[in-house]
Amino acid sequence: MKKGLLILFLLLGITGTYASEPAVVYGTWDRGDRLKDSEVKLYKIFSGKLSEIASSRITANKYFGFAFEPQGEGFYVIGSGTALSAQGKYIFYFKPGDRLNIAVNDSSYVLTGKNTPENIAMEKWHNEIAVLEYKTIYPRVKAGYANGQPSSYVDFFPLLEGSAGKATAFKSNTGNSQFENIFKKIREFDIVRYAYTFILTPRTTQPQNKDFPQFYTNNATLSRLTTNTDLLQYPFGIQLIQSVIIVQNILSGTDSKTKQPLDGIINDTLKGEFALNMAEKLKTYTDLEQFNKENGKYIITSDQKNRMNDLAARLNQGDSGLNTLDFSGTDVNGKKISVSDFK
C-alpha cells in the first residue's frame, strides 16, 4: 500500500516531505472552464496567515494528492491560487496517519470515501454556512444570487443575523477535545470573516451606517476578537483583523491615517503579529527604521524579534555593515527583554 501511494504521488507530481505514517490527501479538483487551475497547494497556518508547504499538479483526469507529516495535529488549508486569495480555499484538520478523500467543484467540495470524524464535522459546518460563503466569496455563482442578481446587503444582512448563533449552536462530537476547543473558535471566526469580507467586496449597492445590523457591534468588534491569540490559529486571522479595522473606521468616521491601527488590538502578542504584518509591506530599510521607532515596542516575543531582523536583512541586502535592529519590550510574563539578549 505504501509503495503504491509513493508511485501515485510521483505520478501526480507532488512536492513535499512525508514520514513513514503520513497524512494523505487524495481527490479530484475541477472548478470548471472558468477557473482552470493547474495545481493545488497545501498550506499550514503560521501566525494567522497561510504558509505553503507542498503543491500537487492536477492531472488530465482532475486528480491531485498530498502525503505529508503533520506536526502534531491541527488545521491546514487546501486550495489554489495565491495565499491571499479567498476563493478555492478549504480548511481541514489533520493528525499523523489521517486520510482525506475529497472532490472539489467550482464553488465547494464534498467528502468521498472514508474520512476522519474531524473532517466530517468540518464538511458539515461548511455546508451549514455555505450560503454566506457563496454570497461573499463567490458572488457570481448562481448559489450566491438573490432574485437573479449578485447578492447585496439587502439580502445578505438578514442571512448574517440568522447565522450569528450558528457557531455556538452547531453540534459536534468527534471525541477529540483538542479539535473541539479550536473548532468552536474557527466557526465563530468563519462567520465574522464573511461578514466583513462581504462589506469590502465591490457591490452594486453599498449599505449606509444605519443599514448595518447589530452583529457588527455585538459579535464582531475588534476588542472582542483580539482578547487572546486564538486568531493566530485561524488561516485568515491577520487578514480578518485588517478587515475589521477598515470597516470599523468607516462606521465610526475615523480617519485611518490619523488613528493607529494597533490601538484597538487587546492581546500584546497579537498586536506584535499585526505590527509585523504591517512591516512586511515596507519597501526600504529606511522605512523599516522609522517603523521601528514608532512600533518597535509592540514586537515582544523572541520569535517576533527574529523575524523582524530577518526582514531588516532582506531590506538591506548588500550592506555588509548592517547591524540588527534592537527591539526592547516586555514579554508575556512581564519580563523586560530585547533583541540583544539573544545574541
Burial of residue 322, with CB atoms counted within 10 A of its CB: 0-12 exposed, 13-18 middle, 19 or more buried: middle
Percent of the chain with pLDDT over 90: 64
Residue-wise pLDDT for 89-141, tens only, equals 999 999 999 999 999 988 889 999 999 999 999 999 999 999 999 899 887 76
pLDDT for residue 37 is more than 60: yes
pLDDT for residue 73 is more than 50: yes
Mean pLDDT score across all residues of the chain: 85
Residue-wise pLDDT for 141-165, tens only, equals 665 666 667 788 999 999 999 998 9
262, 275 in Cβ contact below 8 A?
yes
Residue-wise pLDDT for 97-110, tens only, equals 999 999 998 888 99
* Nearest CA among 7, 83, 19, 11 for reference residue 45: 83
**Sign for the pseudo-dihedral over CA of 226, 227, 228, 233:** negative
Instruction: State the pLDDT confidence band at 5, using cuts at 50, 70 and 90.
Output: very low
Rounded to an integer, the average pLDDT of 266-288 is 94
C-alpha distances out from residue 274 to 40, 242, 258, 280, Å? 28, 9, 18, 10
Rounded to an integer, the average pLDDT of 73-78 is 96
Tell me the backbone φ, ψ of residue 255, rounded to 5 degrees: -80, 115
pLDDT at 261: 79
pLDDT at 252: 83
pLDDT at 147: 60
Percent of the chain with pLDDT over 70: 82
* Nearest CA among 114, 93, 86, 94 for reference residue 27: 114
Assigned C-alpha cell, 158: 438578514
Instruction: State the pLDDT confidence band at 60, using cuts at 50, 70 and 90.
Output: very high
Q: What does DSSP assign to residue 58?
A: P
Distance CA 72, CA 190 (A): 23
Distance CA 164, CA 325 (A): 44
* Nearest CA among 82, 64, 66, 62 for reference residue 15: 66
pTM for the model: 0.83
pLDDT at 316: 86
**Half-sphere exposure (CA, 13 Å, Cβ side) for 218?**
8
